Every structure is written in structure tokens, then in C-alpha cells.
């Protein structure tokens, strides 16, 4: 059948509608794609620093089941999964703190915001968990945060509401309430680290996955409470989800412009929560590593390999 102009117009509109009906995730991947990103090429702000901080994230993950802080870096107790932690890369680094907390799971909303007696805390919140560590060296200080949420928790993360970052300054925007809750548990320990470090040295705050979102919040809280850190602070996150609304992102970026998010464009976690209410902070540095499953696309080993390829 010969197509006239009207049929061609209808066909074009149909094709356009089909293209517009792509999945929301695909749309967000396209929107978040860095203009210089290319498949199998990692765009990192500083490859040497990125690799070092990924090693710190691996170290924090390897300590997830250990409750006693280590006085110095050792590799003989690291599980096989994290056997590629480089003692050479972490040479001359000393661990000065291990951040621990008892927190309720996402799927226990009845405990959110409820005061719990100290005697009941272990029952309600579960066992004490490691959420990261602090290292110092003659060259810099590092705070690495680590959280390993379950699939059920990720579903809750995508839907949990926002709360004001600072109720005395509402113009600073809102952040994810769960991240704020987790950070509140860790904040006194993170703040205490400042008393043990040389504030004239660079300070790096880093984190993988949900730990990256907490790292963003920890970095801005540290900078606000210790203004002398502002020029020394750099933040690197790997596969972090969105943290706050547009107002918070604007406030954060003005205070901490040296914030770098390393993102695998095939990873869905950085695409949550929805862009309608949330916006990323910092500078996006992206690459593509499409593996067999969504879980592998987000795995810490995938981000570790990205740091190697840089």
C-alpha cells in the first residue's frame, strides 16, 4: 500500500510515542549519562585517589562482621571476597576508629522515630554492626562508610519520605529520612575522629552504595561543624543513591564543590529515589559495566574493577 503524507505523519507519531514509552529507568540513565562517558572507559576525577578510596571502601566492607577496631592495616584476617585489598596501597595508614551502631531495619517502620529504652535496644535494633572506619596517614585522613542493605531495604529506600536537613534553616532543603537516621547514629563517633587527626592535611570522606549517601551527609555535617575543613575536604562516592531535594543539592554543592560520584550507568541504585523529588549532589563521573544481573552491576567488586581500569 502506498503511503501518503497523512499516513507517514501517523507512522511518525506512532514511532515517537513508542520511543517516549521507554522505561523510567532507561530515561534516567540517559539523563544522568555523563557527556564524556564511554563503554569500558572509566572517567575518574583522580585515578590514584579513586583507587585508594575504593580500597578503603573494600576494607570497610571486609570489617562488616568485625566489632573491634584494628590499630593498623592487616590483610591476614580479610575474607576471600576482599582478598584484593592492597596492603601496598594502604601502606602507612593506621586505623584510628571503627564506626558501630545498632539500627532498625527498613522493614521495621514501627520503630522509626520511637524512643527505645537502653535495656530494649538490642532486642529491637539487633546486634551491633560496623558501618565504616577512619584512617590517618602522614599525607591525609580518610573516613570510609559502609552499609549493606537487603533487597527489601532497597525497596523501602526508594519510597521513604524526606525530612529537613536543618529544621532551623529550612532553605537548606530536605534529605532522605533514613539516611539522616543512620547518620544520626554514627555522627558522634565520626565527629570524635576530628580530635585525632591533623586538620591541616587533606580529608577524604568516601562510601559505597548507601554508604556513599551517608558519606555525603557526613561530609557536609563535618564541614559545617568544623569550617576549617572546608578547603581540605574531598568526597568520593561509588554507586550512591540520591540523597536530597534540589534545594539541598544546591546548598551542598556550594559548600563542597570537590565531591565526585563514580557511577556505573548500568547500575540502577544511583537512579533511586525518583528524580521528581531527589537530585544528586556533586560531580558525576561515569562508565558502563553491563554484567549478567542488576546485582552484579551494583556489586562493590564491579566498582573496584572500575578503579583498576583507570
Q: Answer yes or no: is 154 within a domain.
A: yes
Q: How far apart are CA 71 and CA 57, in angstroms?
A: 17
- Average pLDDT of 241-250? 96
- The β-bridge relationship of strands 162-164 and 174-176 is antiparallel
Q: How far apart are CA 74 and CA 266, in angstroms?
A: 33
Specify whether the CB–CB gap between 206 and 57 falls below 8 A: yes
The model's pTM is 0.78
Q: Residue 69: what pLDDT? A: 46
Specify whether the CB–CB gap between 220 and 235 falls below 8 A: no
Quick one: which H or E segment has residue 177? helix 177-193
Given pLDDT bands bounded at 50, 70 and 90, which one contains residue 114? very low
Q: Answer yes or no: is 13 within a domain.
A: no
User: What total number of domains does the chain contain?
Assistant: 1
Could you tell me the residue range of the domain that residue 225 belongs to?
23-309
Q: How far apart are CA 70 and CA 55, in angstroms?
A: 16
Q: Answer yes or no: is 11 within a domain.
A: no
Q: Residue 99: what pLDDT? A: 92
Helix, strand counts (H, E) of the chain:
10, 9
Q: Answer yes or no: is 76 within a domain.
A: yes
Over residues 260-272, the pLDDT tens digits come to 999 999 999 999 9
C-alpha cell at 202: 587533606
Q: Answer yes or no: is 69 within a domain.
A: yes
Q: Answer yes or no: is 248 within a domain.
A: yes
Say whether pLDDT at 46 is over 70: yes
Quick one: which H or E segment has residue 255? helix 246-255
Given pLDDT bands bounded at 50, 70 and 90, which one contains residue 125? low
Specify whether the CB–CB gap between 163 and 172 falls below 8 A: no
Query: Could you tell me which residues come within 8 angstroms of residue 256 by beta carbon, excluding any fewer than 6 positions away?
Result: 219, 220, 223, 230, 233, 235, 281, 282
Q: Residue 127: what pLDDT? A: 66
Nearest to 294 by CA among 274, 270, 261, 266: 266
Q: Kindly report the CATH number assigned to the domain that includes residue 266.
A: 3.40.50.1820
Over residues 184-198, the pLDDT tens digits come to 999 999 999 999 999
Gyration radius of the chain over CA positions: 21
Amino acid at each position: 500500500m502506498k503511503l501518503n503524507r497523512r499516513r507517514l505523519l501517523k507512522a511518525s507519531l506512532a514511532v515517537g510515542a513508542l520511543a517516549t514509552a521507554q522505561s523510567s529507568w532507561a530515561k534516567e540513565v540517559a539523563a544522568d549519562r555523563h557527556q564524556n562517558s564511554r563503554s569500558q572507559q572509566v572517567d575518574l576525577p583522580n585515578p590514584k585517589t579513586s583507587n585508594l578510596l575504593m580500597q578503603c571502601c573494600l576494607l570497610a566492607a571486609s570489617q562488616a562482621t568485625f566489632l573491634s577496631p584494628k590499630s593498623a592495616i592487616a590483610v591476614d584476617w580479610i575474607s576471600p571476597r576482599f582478598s584484593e585489598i592492597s596492603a601496598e596501597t594502604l601502606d602507612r595508614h593506621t586505623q584510628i576508629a571503627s564506626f558501630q551502631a545498632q539500627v532498625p531495619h527498613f522493614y521495621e517502620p514501627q520503630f522509626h522515630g520511637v524512643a527505645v529504652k537502653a535495656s530494649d535496644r538490642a532486642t529491637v535494633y539487633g546486634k551491633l554492626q560496623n558501618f565504616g572506619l577512619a584512617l590517618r596517614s602522614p599525607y591525609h585522613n580518610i573516613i570510609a562508610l559502609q552499609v549493606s542493605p537487603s533487597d527489601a531495604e532497597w525497596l523501602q529506600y526508594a519510597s521513604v519520605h524526606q525530612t529537613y536537613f536543618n529544621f532551623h534553616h529550612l532553605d537548606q532543603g530536605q534529605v532522605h529520612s533514613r539516611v539522616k537516621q543512620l547518620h544520626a547514629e554514627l555522627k558522634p563517633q565520626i565527629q570524635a575522629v576530628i580530635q585525632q587527626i591533623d586538620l591541616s592535611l587533606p580529608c577524604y570522606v568516601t562510601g559505597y552504595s548507601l554508604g556513599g549517601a551517608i558519606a555525603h551527609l557526613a561530609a557536609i555535617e563535618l564541614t559545617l561543624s568544623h569550617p576549617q575543613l572546608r578547603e581540605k575536604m574531598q568526597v568520593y562516592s561509588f554507586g550512591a543513591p540520591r540523597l536530597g531535594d534540589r534545594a539541598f543539592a544546591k546548598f551542598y554543592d556550594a559548600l563542597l564543590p570537590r565531591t565526585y560520584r563514580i557511577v556505573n550507568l548500568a547500575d540502577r541504585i544511583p537512579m533511586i529515589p525518583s528524580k521528581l523529588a531527589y537530585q544528586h549532589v556533586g560531580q558525576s563521573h561515569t562508565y558502563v559495566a553491563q554484567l549478567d544481573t542488576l546485582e552484579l552491576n551494583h556489586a562493590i567488586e564491579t566498582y573496584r574493577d572500575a578503579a583498576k581500569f583507570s
